[in-house]
Amino acid sequence: MNLSTIYKQFGLSPAVLALGEAVLADLEERFAAIDQTAEYDQAKVLLAMQKNKVDAPCFAATTGYGYDDVGREKLERVYADTFHTPAALVRPQITCGTHALTVALSANLLPGDELLSPVGAPYDTLQEVIGIRPSPCSLAEYGVTYRQVDLRPAGGFDYDAIREAINDKTKLITIQRSKGYATRPSFSVARIGELIAFCKKIKPDVLCMVDNCYGEFVEAVEPSDVGADMVVGSLIKNPGGGLAPIGGYICGTKECVDRCAYRLSAPGLGQEVGANLGLLPALFQGFFLAPTVTAGALKGAVFAANLYERLGFPVIPNGVESRHDIIQAITLGSREAMIAFCKGIQAAAPVDSYVSPVPAPMPGYDSDVIMAAGAFVQGSSIELSADGPIRPPYAVYFQGGLTWQHAKLGILLSVQKLAEAGLATI
């Protein structure tokens, strides 16, 4: 068996492979810690599946109204027990992460209520949901006001300003775990817990919701273990394990989740309707695989950080920092380097490997955007993918990889393309 020989068929040079192996030699301890978390989280998911007696009838398809859907009900119990919440809403009818967050917010905020983000601006797509950027059907249109407290320059919570911002109208506090496309640090579950405790001390009945996108199974605990009333995310990221073809989840208190179900379907119907359309095998099996798939993606992110750091590129997080999501930002410094990087990721893909990514305009962005994705599920970002707006500082955001081995090859090929374009020195 010769890795060098088989990798040559992808156009990977022995020099780049050797560099990769040299970087990997120092990562044994990091990888062992990631494996340990995965082992714990795997047991958590397994216990939830056993407790709820997941069995063959759970995988049957339902259509139409979907009344008495045993599999759907058990999947929701499995999510609830894994996240240690009283209730969960897990549905293919939730079309994406933004939709799940929209349901959670609009179900639990009424006209006259105020929403507070104590961690700076939320993810791009939520700005229209809230109405920070005016949009039809935004929360603002329905009379929900919004307040924001930015992080301190060093990335810490501005506790004094948060205390001042919480008022009689403050109904819900939204906390985004992952940095998204910002350059702030992502938050550990422990830090999120401290923030929730602080807010609830000031206003005990305030609801705390965590946007958990990209954070699931990165740690042994979730924000719902440290006081969050709702945790929300997308099934085409971590918890879908790469197998879920669509969907979103909301885990939380019974009162919050009930309202989400009434908002998603209709008042009075709630969780009782919603056919599973034959998707439950993928949703169960994907959730079962999610801890190890997330671990593979995390290893890829740690490897990329260390490799690119060695090549002299700024990376966030850096090679040694602890991780709270699966995103890796790499500042490449030029348009050409972003294109070369994305070509490498695309060249490693199992799907669409023959296409070449090019920058293009995208709705909602003021500059061209480049994306590399050769995914089984369209737009899935638990699969190996990279993207970034073509503007200074010319950073790509890299994430995913259904297996560590695939993530490794993609990252090595990205370095190969940069080296071939004369944009990185091996």
Ligand X SMILES: *Cc1c(COP(=O)(O)O)cnc(C)c1O
CB nearer to ligand X: give 250 or 415.
Answer: 250
Half-sphere exposure of 109 (CA within 13 A, CB side): 30
Give yes or no for a contact between 153 and 146, defined as CB atoms under 8 angstroms apart: no
Nearest distance from C-beta of residue 316 to ligand X, angstroms: 15
CB nearer to ligand X: give 7 or 123.
Answer: 123
Q: Where do contacts with ligand X occur on this chain (CB under 6 A)?
A: 96-98, 123, 125, 176, 178, 180, 211, 213-214, 234
Nearest distance from C-beta of residue 123 to ligand X, angstroms: 4
Residue 238 CA to residue 229 CA, distance in Å, equals 20
H helices of 131-240, in order, are: 159-165, 189-202
CB nearer to ligand X: give 93 or 176.
Answer: 176
Give the Cβ contact number of residue 188 at 10 Å. 18
Closest CA to 371 of 348, 393, 342: 342
Give the dihedral sign, CA 373/31/44/255: negative
Nearest distance from C-beta of residue 60 to ligand X, angstroms: 27
Strand segments, DSSP code E, in 184-291 are: 207-211, 230-234, 248-252
What DSSP character marks residue 216? T
Polymer length of the chain: 426
Nearest distance from C-beta of residue 138 to ligand X, angstroms: 16
Give yes or no for a contact between 115 and 142, defined as CB atoms under 8 angstroms apart: no
Nearest distance from C-beta of residue 379 to ligand X, angstroms: 7
Find where tokens 């929360």 sit. 139
CB nearer to ligand X: give 202 or 369.
Answer: 369
Residue 420 burial by Cβ neighbours in a 10 Å radius (0-12, 13-18, 19+): middle
Nearest distance from C-beta of residue 234 to ligand X, angstroms: 4
CB nearer to ligand X: give 123 or 303.
Answer: 123
Nearest distance from C-beta of residue 81 to ligand X, angstroms: 24
CB nearer to ligand X: give 247 or 319.
Answer: 247
Which residue is at the shortest CB distance from ligand X? 97
CB nearer to ligand X: give 129 or 304.
Answer: 129
